[in-house]
Structure 1
Amino acid sequence: MQGPTGFEELRRLLKQGADFSKEVVGILQERSELEAVHAKGLAKLSQRLARAAREAIGTSATAWQEVATQLEREAQLHREHCRHRHCTGACREACQEAVCGPLRASCEAQASRRKCLEAAVERRARAVRERRALQERTKRQAHQCARANEQAQGRALEPRSHRGTRLLTDRDLNKLESKRRKTEGALGKAEGEYYGACMSAEQARQEWETLLFQTAGWLQALEQERLEALRAALARYAQHLAHMAPQAQQCADCVQAQAARVDVKQDIEEAVRLRGTAPNVPEQLLPDFYAEDLSSPMQPQRRREALERLLQLLQKDLDTERRGKQGVESLAQAFRESPRFGDEEAQLRVQEKLQQLRQSLAFLEASRHKVQCCLAGLEGQPRPPHPLAPHLEQRRDRQASGQGRGLAQTVLKIPPWLQRRSSSTEDAEVWDRGSADGGTEAPPTPSSVEADQSEPEGEPQQQTYVNVLPSRCRALYDYKASMEDELSLCSGDLVTVHSRAEEGWWHGEKDGHWGVFPASYVQELGPEPG
């Protein structure tokens, strides 16, 4: 939520446009009041309008620059006929009612609507900041409880006192055991509160992001409405000039010609080109538990048990989210097959909910992958592959009180294929499968790694045959199928590849069994002989 975003640029663009519209209203108001005044007044207005239009962009601004030019020409006409009035009071009143009134009303209505929209976004943003502040507080509390629990665990298992000169009495042992149970319970409660705060913060961030995209669309519609109002005011102003004295007819023709060149769509595209920012990369703050930091003091067995409990918790939530996603996808499929089943707003709500579920699954998948990598590090095994791994970034809070290195904070930068516009059925199926890492819950086995390292030196390691089918490949690691259409692999198995799908999944045959398998688990050998 820090740094410039497309939404902030859109807000600035709308404010600049509103200021420009207000300036135009003021100019036209004064123009209607100075209809019969000396040419000096018209010359000043011409200069003001030229300055205001220079700051704006698009064909609408160009048209109003032409208006400034024609005002100067009209001032010259008034200089030539300074003793004559070309507009009566009725004409001035008609100009004010036909041009200034509607444009001023449009500006005031838009200001009120824009204020309400921006206030709603700010409330959501404030909620995100508050929940992330709560997340940070509960995180520190959880880590403090974890350290206290580690100390209590160590003292409870130590048979002697700190001086090592006398044995502890039963009473002392009971006190240590009571303290150990108390700190262990406090740790469980603190970690539960921290996990709940993480989920609450992520939900608030998703709601804020959804409202942000909706509000951006509404603000763009307001900007288009503002430009339409300016174009209508310009046309009415040109019509007003056409009713002035014949000496001003040439000015009216020039303004009308420029008004005909106003293109609202082109102005919007120009604003996007000049003020557009780079695509926003949403960030998810993943939970970082004490046991995940391998540099922190903790008994290995307790660390392993804590990580396994985290895996169970994450897997439970993953299963729940996947079931919910399947239900929403079924509803979306019904909408696609029967468009009249739901109106456009209902279909949009389903797509928004589906997108939130995808990001929630990414949040949980990335958290689970982190824990799996920690377990792999404890076992001395390589990190398991995962499509979200390249998008994970770990930071440390250097300002955390009492922490030398600061608490770790893992951030998932949501990849483009999981962001708002990746809503196709094909993408959803690939994500549900778990992508080409196979969706395993543990890294490749040591035996499979040793089998991979024992390959003959003469055999190529990086050769691919992407244009030759069918081809052969050898399994480097064990892979257990998790879906009916997948193919289980054992290290050393030979598989015939018949097709290669996107996202790293291949389709092949092994011992008469057909299915898909992750390409990262195999090594290509060459084309199928014969």
Structure 2
Amino acid sequence: AKKKLMVSTKKHEALFHLVESSKQITTEKEKQKLLNKLKKSTEKLSKEDENYYQKNVASCSTRLKWENTLENCFQTLTTVSSRGSAVSGVYGKHWQETCLCDLVLLFLALQCHTQIHCAISQIDIEKDIQALMEETAVSSTENKSEFLLTDYFEEDPKNAMSKERQTSSIKSKLLRLQKDIEKASRDQEGLERMLRAYSSHSSFSDSESEKSTAALMDENSLKLDLLQANCYKLSSVLAELEQRPQPSHPCSNSIFKWKEKQQTHSSVKISRPVLMKRLENVVNRASSDGQRIPSPSSTGDIVTIHKKKDEGWWFGSLKGKKGHFPAAYVEELPSNAADTVSQA
């Protein structure tokens, strides 16, 4: 969109100069033809300019969606890893960690226990979390995200435009930015009031509503910063054209320019809040999910044997529950009662 706008603006300026220079040497019919062509070029240029501008503004929303997708993947990885550790712990403790009624399933699961245990033992949640934090450049003190700014043909000091046309074009772009900045500021105030209402009236909200509102605030705040950075950059060019003092802005030292393939690009690094607390909550939740599940049976429990089978499986009861279990997992005790008694 940027390259297309640059080319169209350059062609439009060439056509404008052609119309201006042909006023005295062309017929009325030819003049009208050139004016119609210039009108169509102006309409086309206006559409391309708006399209490029809207894509730049939407970039912050796209960036946040990407970050949220990455964060959701991270949370899923943490949950799966913690569940895997829990499964490994259950299988690793053999029948003492399992209810008597589940011994049948346990016996079958033990056949593949070694493979499962080896795979799960390689999972290191803390290492995964640390690697993700390093790869995404998350800092405990400050986190800056880099965004592309809009670059226009009018900003190039070597272009063929007159100062009057440059000034007029930049002022129209600044007016559009100022309107969007005012709207984004009003939206931010509304979201802040909504979040305060959620906090003060717990019955009026739920965690999903608060989370959604906070995400909208983050997106709108980022959009506002991006609009202000674009406004500052264009205001600086306008001040130079009008020979006025340069404006000041907190992002003035965070804007960078470079050339690539005969085009100038600009970007700004915007400081953003770090979501370290959210990461800590995920880690704590994962740790609690991975705790050992207490078993209703333990070593020393007395099992009443009702029936012995030749294939090594016995049928018995424990604490009011009946089921089959491997005979090798119990030690039979002498008893004068009708039913045989074994100790787990």
Q: Secondary structure, in 3 states, of the residue corresponding to 1:202?
A: helix
- The answer as to 2:236 corresponding to 1:380 is no
- The answer as to 2:27 corresponding to 1:169 is yes
Unaligned runs of 5+ residues in structure 2 are: 99-116, 118-123, 278-344
How do residues 25-64 of structure 1 correspond to structure 2 at under 5 angstroms?
Answer: none
- The answer as to 2:11 corresponding to 1:153 is no
Aligned-residue identity in percent: 22
Unaligned runs of 5+ residues in structure 1 are: 1-137, 162-166, 241-258, 260-266, 399-404, 424-530
Residues 60, 222 of structure 2: 8 Å contact kept: no
- 1:274 and 1:353, CA in 2 relative to 1: closer, same or farther beyond 3 A? closer
| Residue 344 of structure 1: aligned partner | 207
How do residues 352-431 of structure 1 correspond to structure 2 at under 5 angstroms?
Answer: 352-398=215-261, 405-406=262-263, 408-415=264-271, 418-419=272-273, 421=275
| Residue 101 of structure 2: aligned partner | none
| Residue 71 of structure 1: aligned partner | none
Deviation at 1:336, TM superposition (A): 1.9
- 1:227 and 1:295, CA in 2 relative to 1: closer, same or farther beyond 3 A? farther
| CA distance, structure 2, for counterparts of residue 311 and residue 365 of structure 1 | 10
Comparing 197-206 with 143-152, which one deviates more in the overlay?
197-206
Residues 393, 410 of structure 1: 8 Å contact kept: yes
- The answer as to 2:3 corresponding to 1:140 is yes
- 1:191 and 1:152, CA in 2 relative to 1: closer, same or farther beyond 3 A? same
| CA distance, structure 1, for counterparts of residue 29 and residue 127 of structure 2 | 80
Code of the residue aligned with 1:303 in structure 2: it is: Q
- 1:275 and 1:422, CA in 2 relative to 1: closer, same or farther beyond 3 A? closer
| CA distance, structure 2, for counterparts of residue 179 and residue 300 of structure 1 | 24
Q: Secondary structure, in 3 states, of the residue corresponding to 2:250?
A: coil
Alignment TM-score, normalising by the size of structure 2: 0.64
Residues 202, 285 of structure 1: 8 Å contact kept: no
Deviation at 1:270, TM superposition (A): 4.7
- The answer as to 2:125 corresponding to 1:268 is yes
- 1:379 and 1:196, CA in 2 relative to 1: closer, same or farther beyond 3 A? same
Code of the residue aligned with 1:170 in structure 2: it is: E
| Residue 46 of structure 2: aligned partner | 188
Deviation at 1:377, TM superposition (A): 1.8
What is the aligned counterpart of 2:169 among 269, 282, 306?
306
Q: Indicate the structure whose relative CO is greater, using CA pairs within 8 Å and at least 6 residues apart.
A: 2
Q: CA RMSD in A?
A: 3.1
Code of the residue aligned with 1:414 in structure 2: it is: I
Code of the residue aligned with 1:412 in structure 2: it is: V
What is the aligned counterpart of 1:217 among 75, 93, 96?
75
| CA distance, structure 1, for counterparts of residue 93 and residue 196 of structure 2 | 48
- 1:389 and 1:227, CA in 2 relative to 1: closer, same or farther beyond 3 A? farther
Alignment TM-score, normalising by the size of structure 1: 0.43
Q: Secondary structure, in 3 states, of the residue corresponding to 2:249?
A: coil
Residues 355, 420 of structure 1: 8 Å contact kept: no
Code of the residue aligned with 2:79 in structure 1: it is: A
| Residue 296 of structure 1: aligned partner | 159
Deviations 1:129-167 (A, max 9, x none): xxxxxxxxx222211111111111111222578xxxxx3
- 1:175 and 1:372, CA in 2 relative to 1: closer, same or farther beyond 3 A? same
| CA distance, structure 2, for counterparts of residue 342 and residue 174 of structure 1 | 63
